[in-house]
Amino acid sequence: MQKFIALVAVLALTAFIGFADAAKKEAKVAKESEAKKVLNDKCPLSGRDVNASKTSDYKVEFCCNNCKGKFDKAPGKFIAKAAKGEKGKCIFSGRDAKASTTLTVGFCCGGCKGKFDKDPAKFIAKVKPAEKES
């Protein structure tokens, strides 16, 4: 009987530790996601929900802070323009870049993230910003 009680206690402790580890991992992913605000809630390649731990950054450049502000207010409106932008040039004026913003794009899985990372300009226009909650 004592062995049975000891076995139950060990199993209960093991389960508790497992749940605690899972909770820590979940909290870490949530914290990372909070620190890096993901632009989209659907994967631009598959259309599935974004996994907050699968993200890539995409840099968009501007000639001035006015152009940057215009983009930051409504990135979804200008993502197609960002896809056609030339590196080191403002996506609006074509002048040399002096300001930039970084978009954090979310993906459903490592496969989609990998495809994006190989050729981000090819896929950035497919990113649809998450609709803001009211």
DSSP codes, 95-109: SBP-EEEEEEEEESS
pLDDT digits (tens, 9 = 90+) for 78-115: 998 988 888 899 999 999 999 999 999 999 999 999 99
**Predicted TM-score (pTM) of this structure:** 0.69
Instruction: Return the domain boundaries, the chain.
Output: 1-35, 37-134
d(C-alpha 30, C-alpha 131), whole Å: 19
99-107 and 51-62 beta bridge pairing: antiparallel
pLDDT digits (tens, 9 = 90+) for 27-79: 655 555 455 799 999 999 999 999 999 999 999 999 999 999 999 999 999 99
d(C-alpha 41, C-alpha 48), whole Å: 8
Q: Strands, DSSP E only, in 1-134?
A: 51-62, 99-107
Q: Which pair of structure tokens corresponds to residue 118?
A: 């190989």
Unique residue bearing structure tokens 């590196």: 87
